[in-house]
Amino acid sequence: KVIVKTLNDRIPHGVDPQQLGKKSELFYRQHKVLSELVHPQIPKVLHSFTTEQDGDTTFHSVQEWFDGPTLEEVVKQKGKLPVEEAVRMSLSLLEPLEYCHAQGVKHRDVKPKNVIISDKQAKLIDFGFVLDEESPEEGGSTMVGTLGYAAPEQLWGRATEQSDIYSVGATLLHMVTGKDCEEMLNHGGKTYEERFRVCYEEHVKDLDERLQEIFARSLDVDVAKRYGTVVEMRTDLEMMLVTSGA
């Protein structure tokens, strides 16, 4: 089975041909990168194409279809998950992410809706395509992500591998609380980073202190204080399971 994914970005009629050419080139370049990813928890990217309607250009990607509910649907149906189950699911989610980072690929939009539960594994779908070049001078790129799950620096257009780690932390938070992380944003914050900080502390105060520490190290708005790699986060999650006897 396959599914056709359509990018939200549509190039309007009348846009400068050179700009359209650059965006098309970037789209196909990213498609090539994703099509070279080979991992059982990542859908195969099989084909890409563009369509035109009323002069507007739209980009499409044909990908492998995974059977199963999304993590968002699972939590909506079951409510918050037991901590052990949530930790194991997070460890499963880190496997394809670790592979991607080793290939120099960032996902950019890890969230419960983009995780398919299939064969007791977390399958990672819907990589964030970007149709604007990254700016070497600014160190950034076009904003891709979802409020509550995207790290503050990512919303500013500066996605890194640690931005993906933040998103895994937010996804784990959703699993153990049953709450949408966007509802936990600190909209009253004075700085940009504080306004987009997930205020998780009150929601996890009764959970294992080791899990609270994992949230602190994955959801810190300061990238320098966050886990540096997926391996670091995985190690802490695995240690938590071992020491709890799970």
Q: Are 131 and 23 in contact (CB under 8 A)?
A: yes
CA angle 22, 24, 107 (to 5 degrees): 100
The Cα–Cα gap between 222 and 152 comes to: 9
Count of CB atoms situated within 10 Å of the CB of 116: 23
Length of the chain, in residues: 246
Classify residue 167 by its DSSP letter: H
Positions marked catalytic: 109
Q: What is the DSSP string of 212-242?
A: HHHHHHHS-SSGGGS-SSHHHHHHHHHHHHH
Q: Which residues pair with 53 in a beta bridge?
A: 56
Please check whether residue 125 is in contact with residue 116, taking contact to mean a CB–CB distance below 8 angstroms: yes
Query: To 10 degrees, what angle do helices 161-177 and 71-78 make?
Result: 20
Q: How far apart are CA 26 and CA 218, in angstroms?
A: 31
CB 23 within 8 A of CB 78: no
How would you classify the pairing of strands 56-64 and 2-11? antiparallel
Q: Do residues 192 and 200 lie in contact, with contact meaning Cβ atoms separated by under 8 Å?
A: no
